[in-house]
Amino acid sequence: MSKFAERYGPWAVITGASSGIGAEFARQLAGYGLNVVLVARRRDRLEELASGIEDMYRVEARVAPADLTARNIVQVLQPALADIEIGLLVNCAGFGTTGPFLDMDPSVQESMINLNCHAPIVLTHEVAQSMRERGRGGVIFVSSVNGFCAAPGMANYNATKGYDLLFAEGLAAELAPYGVDVQALCPGGTYTEFQHVAGLDSRALGPLSGLVFANASTVVTTSLRKLGKRVTVIHGFINKLNVFMMRFMPRWLSTRLLGTALRRLAAHH
Ligand SMILES: NC(=O)c1ccc[n+]([C@@H]2O[C@H](COP(=O)([O-])OP(=O)(O)OC[C@H]3O[C@@H](n4cnc5c(N)ncnc54)[C@H](OP(=O)(O)O)[C@@H]3O)[C@@H](O)[C@H]2O)c1
């Protein structure tokens, strides 16, 4: 058994596993020898991924189709989680929207808070109890570089990601003495279905998009390499530089600059 599997196995639960960063977490964790529970709404996608993982790696893969915006997600997921020892939880499911907040459907904005903030905390509260008792394990919150800064056009999304970031940093300090590693993963632009759902288009950046956007596989590799070594993990040099430069700017300026960049990405959608 790999050291990673000893520390974070035998099972990992990954939300948002039907595509993008979450699906990549599932593949790479299976590669480390962890059994995986795959959570998202699209059952067909989850089943296809689970069977691919079981063919490729000597691990078990379970699917747990669920809408994580529901208030009773702990009960909904209970049957899939009750009989396994969970050593790693990856809170990855999330979505964003672009446009003026007052023109948005308020129920969609509320769903975003439920998915991006409520689901991670209630799942963590449920799953990390036994990690603390065992004195080992990990929880990853997929935040974003957007969590460091407000932005017009993505006011609610950035606020949810700021919540994930601060929550993860606080929890990391609470659980470190018990041997449980918490990480706030902060990707920048990543090629997944996120842009399409959020109404953004990376092609707006032209040749720069290759510099600014990353593949999900490299984001996940960075996260797993840093797990237990670093709490706040920003993927990519440009993203690190942007977050670093924000420290020296007045907040109104970083808000305005990010808003301009997002308007450009949204205009091409
Ligand atoms: N891509 C980026 O540029 C980027 C940058 C920074 C941070 N992030 C963050 O990375 C995380 C993963 O996003 P991604 O880029 O991989 O996007 P993605 O490809 O759109 O994946 C989003 C995942 O969330 C799941 N999901 C959405 N609504 C759900 C619901 N109501 N219940 C359960 N699952 C739901 C989706 O599955 P179903 O539709 O099957 O439910 C999918 O598996 C998100 O938290 C996002 O905020 C992304």
Residue nearest to atom 8 of ligand 1 (CA): 144
Q: Which two tokens stand for residue 23?
A: 């699906």
pLDDT for 145 equals 97
Q: b or e along 143-177 (b: 16 or more beta carbons within 10 Å of the residue's beta carbon)?
A: bbbbbbbbbbbbbbbbbbbbbbbebbbebbeebee
Tell me the C-alpha distance between 245 and 237, whole Å.
12
In ligand 1, which atom is closest to the CA atom of 24?
A: 16
pLDDT for 269 equals 64
Residues of the domain holding 114: 3-267
Contact in structure between 189 and 202 (CB atoms under 8 Å):
yes
Ligand 1 centroid to Cα of residue 145, in Å, is 15
The residue whose two tokens read 């305005």 is 256
Q: Which of 92, 146, 243 to mutate to test the pocket of ligand 1 (most atoms within 8 A of CB)?
A: 92
Indicate the number of domains in the chain.
1
The pLDDT of 241-251, averaged and rounded, is 96
Active site residues: 157
| Closest C-alpha among 140, 139, 157 to residue 148 | 157
pLDDT for 206 equals 81
pLDDT for 268 equals 63
Peptide bond into 187 cis (omega under 30): no
What's phi and psi for 51, nearest 5 deg?
A: -70, -35
Q: What is the pLDDT of residues 84-121, one digit of tens each?
A: 999 999 999 999 999 999 999 999 999 999 999 999 99
Residue nearest to atom 47 of ligand 1 (CA): 94
201: pLDDT strictly greater than 90: no
Q: What is the pLDDT of residues 21-39, one digit of tens each?
A: 999 999 999 999 999 999 9
The pLDDT of 163-186, averaged and rounded, is 98
Tell me the C-alpha distance between 48 and 26, whole Å.
12
Contact in structure between 171 and 121 (CB atoms under 8 Å):
no
Share of the chain above pLDDT 90, in %: 90
Tell me the C-alpha distance between 46 and 63, whole Å.
6
In order, the DSSP letters of 194-229 are HHHHHT--GGGGGGGHHHH-EEHHHHHHHHHHHTTT
Tell me the C-alpha distance between 101 and 113, whole Å.
13
In order, the DSSP letters of 70-131 are STTHHHHHHHHHTTS-EEEEEE-------S-GGGS-HHHHHHHHIIIIIHHHHHHHHHHHHH
Q: Which two tokens stand for residue 263?
A: 């308007």
**CB 212: neighbour CB atoms within 10 A?**
16
| Closest C-alpha among 155, 226, 153, 218 to residue 188 | 218
Q: Which two tokens stand for residue 21?
A: 């960063």
The enclosing domain of 180 has a CATH number of 3.40.50.720
Q: Which two tokens stand for residue 151?
A: 């932005």
